[in-house]
A = this chain, B = another copy of it.
Amino acid sequence: MLTAEGCPKTMLSIRDALEAVEGRWKLLILFALAQSPKRFKQLAKEVPGITDKTLSKELKSLESNKLVQRNVYDTFPPTVQYSITAHGKSLEKVIEELHYWGLAHRREIMGK
């Protein structure tokens, strides 16, 4: 990748991937949903510090990226639950690589 032929052709896909995980909240929401599907209020509790407005916006963005699914159940009143999709779970490997590199990066920067 980081070689003579790696250049801008590959940038679009990399940008797509970065966009899907960027920002303060997306990964935290995915972490919370990876444990189990959740209702909006549960989710708001498990992602510390997030406002309802932001959570709603982020869920819509995750939904449009097919990382999260919004399920409406036919109860009275209707129940809405959010769950992580198979595509959302496929982020696993990316997140793992980011995690390991991030650890190595800390060691490098802090000179340990």
Which A residues are within 8 Å of any B CB, using their own CB? Answer: 1-4, 6-8, 10-18, 20-22, 27-28, 30-32, 34-35, 65-66, 84, 87-106, 108-109
Contacts and interface: CB of A to CB of B under 8 A. Distances in A.
Contacts of A34: 2-4, 6
A98 B13 contact: yes
A48 to B, nearest CB: 8
Contacts of A96: 1
Nearest to A16: B102
B3 A98 contact: no
A13 B104 CA distance: 9
12 contacts: A2-B34, A2-B91, A6-B95, A11-B27, A13-B101, A16-B105, A17-B101, A20-B105, A22-B22, A65-B109, A90-B104, A94-B98
> A-B pairs with the 8 shortest C-beta distances?
A13-B102, A17-B102, A2-B34, A16-B102, A17-B98, A97-B97, A94-B101, A13-B103
Contacts of A109: 65-66
Nearest to A93: B97
